Amino acid sequence: MIEANYLIILACAVVGMALGAIWYGPVFGKQWCKLNGVDPNNKVEVARMKKGMAPMMVLQFLLTLFQVYVLFFYIKGAEAEMGGVSNALWIWAGFVMPTLAASVIWTNESKKQQKKRFLIQAGFTLVTFIVFALIIVQWG
């Protein structure tokens, strides 16, 4: 039976939040703001947006903890047969990416905006799943 390593799960969630801050900050922050109708140069609007983020950040952290908890068991269970990173990639490709694509294609955004939103979000989850798998396999 596989036992959860809560320290690894917590570490992955913290790393995931840090990756999110970088991904949606300096890497794709301006594009993300524009996709969401926020002028990244309007300091008042950005400050207003940041002010309401604390509850969402807490919820995101809890969701990330849950996500890593589930991923931990999938990776540890399939590690001998498939390998941790390979398993994480299949989970991303089979469940995460199609779910993100479906949520994006049913918006009223232009095709160009949909493509940008999908690539930013799917790219982030791909990178985090790979990082999570590497941490789980190497540390666990």
Q: What per-residue confidence (pLDDT) applies to 104?
A: 92
**Alpha helical stretches, state H, 52-107:** 53-78, 84-91, 97-105
Please report the pLDDT score of residue 40 as a whole number.
Answer: 87
54: how many CB neighbours lie within 10 A of its CB?
9
pTM over 0.75: yes
pLDDT-based confidence at residue 13 (cuts at 50, 70, 90):
very high
Q: Which residues have a Cβ under 8 Å from the Cβ of 53 and sit 6 or more positions away?
A: none
Return the closest-CA partner of residue 99 out of 71, 128, 122: 122
Backbone region of residue 39 per phi and psi (left: phi > 0; alpha: psi in -120 to 50; beta: other values): beta
* pLDDT of 67: 92
What does the angle CA 63 – CA 84 – CA 132 come to, to the nearest 5 degrees? 35
Token pair belonging to 84 = 């941790």
Q: What is the pLDDT of residue 90?
A: 87
Amino acid of residue 34: K
In the prediction, which pLDDT does 80 show? 64
Cα separation, 122 vs 97, whole angstroms: 6
From 10-24, 72-86, 99-113, the region with the lowest mean pLDDT: 72-86
Tokens encoding 59 = 């919820």
